[in-house]
Amino acid sequence: MSNERNLKNYTAGAGLCFGIVLLTFQIVNLILTGKTAQELEAINNILTGIFIGMHLLGGFIGSYLVTRRVFEDHFQVGIVTVVLAYIFESFYFIIFGNRWLPDIWVIISLLVGGVIAAYLVKSKQEKEKQYSVLTNSKSIENPSNSETSEDKGKNNSIN
């Protein structure tokens, strides 16, 4: 049951990651329809930056949402999510057309986004764990002076 849930989480995160990239790709294609080769060459660096940024963002968001649901192996979860997204993207562009970036930049930007998300979630969960340990240890060391309702009832009945 747990493996089935993990597979669903990985697939959902990878789908979201690829969806962000695909949406960006489609919007850019819509904007660039009718441009000449010279115009496209002039904005090539800008477009490459946009696509690398969208792969970073997609890898981050997809991995962040999946790694939030786990409490161990954060980096493995983030990497598996972005590798699945890369597989989705590869299948899509094999079937429907050429990709804008070379494969190496796609996987690197996805992995960087996934690792950053995993690190962020891991550090956030460790801080929350430390905070809960600190608050629990303070309540054990310094019990409140207020009596429980049972103690108050016993004291009132004695007086």
| Mean local confidence (pLDDT), 28-41 | 85
The pLDDT value recorded for residue 99 is: 66
Specify the pTM. Answer: 0.75
Instruction: Confirm whether 159 is domain-assigned.
Output: no
Residue 153 included in any domain: no
Q: Is residue 149 part of a domain?
A: no
Q: Which two tokens stand for residue 42?
A: 């002039």
How far apart are alpha carbons 14 and 17 in whole angstroms? 5
Residue 108 in any domain: the answer is yes
Name which of 101, 106, 84, 102 is nearest 11 in CA terms.
Answer: 84
Please give the tally of structural domains in the chain.
1
49 within domain boundaries? yes
Please give the average per-residue pLDDT across 131-141, as a whole number.
69
Q: Scanning the structure block, which residue is given the tokens 């890369």?
A: 86
Domain that holds residue 86: 2-141
